[in-house]
Amino acid sequence: MTGAIEVRNARRDDFTAWRQLWDGYNTFYGRTGSTALPASITQITWQRFFDSAEPMHALVAERSGELLGLAHFLYHRSTIMVNPICYLQDLFTAEAARGYGVGRALIHAVYAHATSAGSTRVYWQTHETNSVAMRLYAKVAERSGFIVYRHNL
C-alpha cells in the first residue's frame, strides 16, 4: 500500500463505503445471520453521527480515496472525573489494510479529538481472543485489568 493515510470525520456521502467496513466489523464479531444487527440500527447509528445533539462521532481512514478503516466514539460523564470520558466503541480496519498503521492512525485521531473536547481519558474494550489488535493496543494504551484500554491525555 502506498500513499498517506488520512483520518477525517465521516461525511454523509461515505455511507456506502462506511457500510462495507461496518458490515466487516459486525462479521468479525459474529453478528451475522440470526444475530445480525437489524438494518434500522445501522441507519440510526449512521444518522447519530451527523446529529449535533448526539455525543457519537465517526472517523474514517482513507488512502487514495478508498476507505480503509473506521472508528466510532462517544463522550459520557463519569462519577470520578469532571471532564467527559471518551469511549472508543468501534474500531475496524479492512482486512487488506491491516498492518499498515490504519488502526494506530485512527486511535491517535480519537486521542486528538478527545483532547480538543477536554477529555482526559480514552478507553475501549476488546474481546480476549483479539490478540492481533491487543498487540497494537499495548503500544498505545495501558491495560486496566478489565481488558479495557485507556490512555490518559
pLDDT, tens only, 26-40: 998 888 787 788 999
Q: Which residue has the cell 449535533?
A: 52
Query: Of all residues in the chain, what percent carry a pLDDT higher than 70?
Result: 95
In a domain, 1, yes or no: no
Q: How sure is the predictor about 42, in pLDDT bands with cuts at 50, 70 and 90?
A: very high
Which residues are within 8 A (CB) of 32 and not within 5 positions of it... i.e. 6 or more apart? 26
In a domain, 97, yes or no: yes
Mean pLDDT of 56-63: 97
In a domain, 88, yes or no: yes
**Edge-first strand listing for the sheet containing 142-143:** 6-9, 56-63, 66-76, 85-93, 121-125, 148-152, 142-143
- Domain span at 22: 6-152
d(CA 136, CA 121): 18
Per-residue pLDDT reduced to its tens digit, 76-118: 999 999 999 999 999 999 999 999 999 999 999 999 999 999 9
Write the CATH number for 25: 3.40.630.30
How many domains is the chain built from?
1
Mean pLDDT of 126-145: 90
